[in-house]
Structures are given as C-alpha cells and as structure tokens.
C-alpha cells in the first residue's frame, strides 16, 4: 500500500497541481489530505473541488482549523489569517462550505492515525512543534504511526518503547526506513504555504517500510499574482517565494 499524504494546501492550486502530478508519476494506491484545504490562498473553491472529488473516490480528507473557521468564524485567528478567512468565505459556494463543515477531525486506518493538528485534543488545534507536544500526541494516538500537519514545518519524531522521544528534520526526497521496534510521528510540511525556508511544496509518501518527504517546485509567481489581484494581503504572496 502506497499512500500520498498532503496537508495545509491553503487554496494554492499551483502547488497542489504540482504535487498531484508528481504523485501520479510515482504511482500510489490512495490519498490522504490532513486539512486546511483553504485559507490564505487565492483558489479555495478550485482546491475544494479537486479534493472532494478525490474524497468521493476513497481519499481520506480531514478538517483543519482554517476549514473550521469558514463555518465558525475567525475570531481566534490573527489579523492576516482572519482577513483571508473573510475573503475565502465569500469565494466558496454553499456546497463547498457544506463540504468543509462535514469533514472529520481524525481518521485511523491500519495502525496509522491521521489528524490535522495533534491527536491530543485535536479540536483545540495544538501544534506538534516540540518534544513535549510530540509526547502528548503519541500518547493520545496509540497507533504505530501518526501523521499530522498544521505547523508547516516538516519533522519526524520517533521513539523506542519506554525511551525518550527523538526529533529529526527529514531530508527532502530521502526515504526514512521504519524500524519495527519504534513508533513514529510525522509532521508534514505544507503543500500551499511552506515555512521552513524551502519554498517547494511538500507531500509525503507512506509505504509499508518507510516515509519519504518529497519537495516539489511549482509556479509560485502565478499564485502571487492571483493573491495580489484578489486583494488579499500581499505578504501572503511574497512569503511563498522564500518559504517563510
């Protein structure tokens, strides 16, 4: 079973398209989208349509905090994020909004837990960005592998039973083999708004024997032009060029 896992697409059609092309070339048996389909980016409707279509054909699709904010409001978000949510809400039609509203927070399959933020109280959207938060997430998931997103920073935590949780920054396109003695917690990089100073879109290939963090270059100039044309905050475009 080869599964393509993507997170934090954030309405970036160009980045999603580049990932899907590479995934099609690699050949996979299924897809999982770990939430934040919309927010920040200029193509929320188009992205929702593509992903809901894959969902109808069996893909796992989860809800992120930006997807939730479409329905519940952006009062817990910072200025630029909240501004983008207000804009996005106008762009989406009723069907697309209803689709986002019904998405689940978690899904577990074959000893793998999928979640947007953390398996520990996922509805409160905690970040897995430290050893302590990884410990909490691993304790709550109970599965051998947990995959999440939300931070936009690729990380791979691993742990031998009864030992401390170890932290690793995955190297692009280099498969990390699983050891059957360990548990793993993979935090995905973002498809649509990378923040680890690598502007390339990130997706992850899950295979029975390991995990590969792929990075794909895409036409972020096109996305930047659309962000500007849409009247969204300009920083949402310029950050794409540097991956910050």
Provide the b/e sequence for 85-118 (b: ≥16 CB within 10 Å).
bebbbebbeeebbebbeebebbeeeeebbbbbbb
- Closer residue to another protein, CB minimum distance, 148 or 165: 165
Please, which residue, 58 or 161, has the CB nearer to another protein?
161
Q: Per residue, what are the HEC states of 88-126? A: HHHHCCHHHHHHHHCCCCEEEECCEEEECCCCCCHHHCC
User: Which of 151, 223 has the CB closer to another protein?
Assistant: 151
Q: Candidates 111-119, 172-180, 200-208, 213-221 — which segment interacts with another protein by CB under 8 A? A: 172-180
Q: Which residue in the set 101, 132, 139, 171 belongs to the binding site for another protein (CB under 8 A)?
A: 171
Q: Which of 112, 119, 156, 216 binds another protein (CB under 8 A)?
A: 156
- What is the smallest separation between the CB atom of 188 and another protein, expressed in angstroms? 16
Query: Which residues are bridge partners to 109 per DSSP?
Result: 112
Sheet with 145-148, edge to edge strand ranges: 106-109, 112-115, 145-148, 183-187, 155-159, 166-168
Comparison of 58 and 177: residue with beta carbon closer to another protein: 177
Contact stretch for another protein (CB under 8 A) within 88-96, 119-127, 168-176, 197-205: 168-176
Interacting positions 174-193 with another protein (CB under 8 A)? 174, 176-177, 179-182
**Interface with another protein: number of residues (CB under 8 A):** 17
**Minimum distance from CB of 87 to another protein (Å)?**
38
Of 24 and 171, nearer to another protein (C-beta) is: 171
Count CB neighbours of 197 within 10 A. 9
Q: Among residues 163, 234, 235, 242, which is the contact residue for another protein, using CB under 8 A?
A: 163
x/- site string to another protein, residues 110 to 149, per CB under 8 A? Answer: ----------------------------------------
Which residues are at the interface with another protein (CB under 8 A)?
156, 158, 160, 162-164, 166, 168-169, 171, 174, 176-177, 179-182
């Amino acid at each position: 079973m080869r599964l393509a896992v993507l997170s934090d697409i954030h309405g970036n059609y160009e980045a999603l398209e580049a990932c899907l092309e590479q995934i099609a070339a690699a050949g996979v048996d299924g897809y999982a989208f770990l939430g934040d389909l919309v927010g920040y980016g200029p193509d929320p409707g188009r992205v929702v349509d593509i992903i809901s279509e894959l969902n109808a054909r069996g893909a796992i699709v989860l809800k992120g905090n930006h997807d939730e904010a479409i329905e519940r409001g952006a009062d817990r978000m910072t200025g630029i994020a909240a501004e983008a949510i207000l804009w996005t809400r106008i762009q989406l039609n009723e069907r697309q909004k209803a689709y986002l509203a019904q998405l689940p927070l978690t899904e577990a399959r074959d000893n793998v837990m999928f979640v947007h933020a953390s398996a520990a109280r996922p509805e409160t959207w905690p970040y897995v960005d430290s050893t302590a938060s990884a410990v909490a997430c691993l304790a709550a998931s109970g599965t051998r592998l947990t995959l999440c997103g939300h931070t936009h920073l690729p990380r791979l935590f691993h742990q031998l039973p009864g030992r401390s949780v170890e932290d690793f920054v995955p190297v692009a396109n280099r498969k990390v083999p699983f050891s059957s003695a360990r548990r793993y917690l993979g935090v995905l990089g973002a498809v649509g708004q990378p923040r680890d100073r690598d502007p390339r879109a990130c997706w992850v290939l899950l295979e029975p024997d390991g995990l590969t963090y792929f990075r794909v270059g895409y036409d972020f100039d096109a996305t930047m032009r659309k962000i500007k044309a849409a009247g969204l905050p300009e920083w949402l475009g310029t950050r794409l060029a540097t991956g910050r």
